[in-house]
Amino acid sequence: MTEQVLTVRCKLKPSEKHVEAIEETLKAFADACTWINQNVDPKIRGKIRIQHLIYQDVRAKYGLSSNLTIRAIARVAANRKTAGENKIEGFQPTSIDYDQRIFQYREADEQVSLTLLHGRERIPLDIGNYQRNLLKGRKPTLATLVTERSGYYMNIQVKSEGAKNIADLEAVVNQPGGPEWFCLIEAEKVPGLQKATLFRGG
């Protein structure tokens, strides 16, 4: 039996205060990524080496927490490796990567706890029963905060050992009585691992 990593897309219900904090954090994170990329030799692609060179400067300049700074450095390193010899023009304020040190899914009150620019915030989720079932009893450690025209979302990664392959996973998603507005939109096979993304359709 192989393991699947499911990305469960959960819409946030932020207050006006939360929206302001999220937007400030998205901008600071993107600006930090752009600055890192512009101020570190483009030949340097390892995140540990970049961190040694520029970590303190980034924290002082952009006010990010320690772990958000590390995530920004990791974003630049990953993009450099993907881009190869191609030039990276800049980073847009559209997403932030989170790990267990700066993100927590709170099942009991259907909230996520996130480290933002000026501290930790708890933000309610707007989810349905199928998302609840996917997240039930889980303690996810990775997620991505994203902004779109329709709002803000947390793409939360959870592991599942319940399906042997993508075909089985599709059967689970489309199980009788399950909500039809959940669809499998991405499936990428990698050695020993199945990856899939679920989203809530309109």
Q: What is the DSSP letter of 87?
A: P
pTM for the full predicted model: 0.78
Tens digits of per-residue pLDDT, 160-184? 755 444 444 443 444 333 433 333 3
Both tokens of residue 137?
């009893």
| pLDDT at residue 110 in the model | 96
Helices 47-62 and 16-39 cross at an angle (nearest 10°) of: 130
| pLDDT at residue 3 in the model | 66
On whether the CB atoms of residues 166 and 114 are closer than 8 A, the answer is no
Q: Beta strands 142-148 and 95-99: pairing type?
A: antiparallel
Tens digits of per-residue pLDDT, 9-65? 999 999 999 999 999 999 999 999 999 999 999 999 999 999 999 999 999 999 999
Distance, in Å, from the CA atom of 171 to the CA atom of 169, rounded to the nearest integer, reads 5
Q: How many CB atoms lie within 10 A of CB 4?
A: 22
Q: Measured between alpha carbons, how far apart are the two ends of the chain, in Å?
A: 33
Distance, in Å, from the CA atom of 91 to the CA atom of 138, rounded to the nearest integer, reads 32
| pLDDT at residue 193 in the model | 42
Percent of residues, the chain, with pLDDT higher than 70: 78
| pLDDT at residue 88 in the model | 83
Give how far the C-alpha of residue 191 lies from the chain's centroid of Cα atoms, to the nearest Å: 22
What dihedral angle (degrees, nearest 10) is formed by the CA atoms of 104, 105, 106, 112?
80
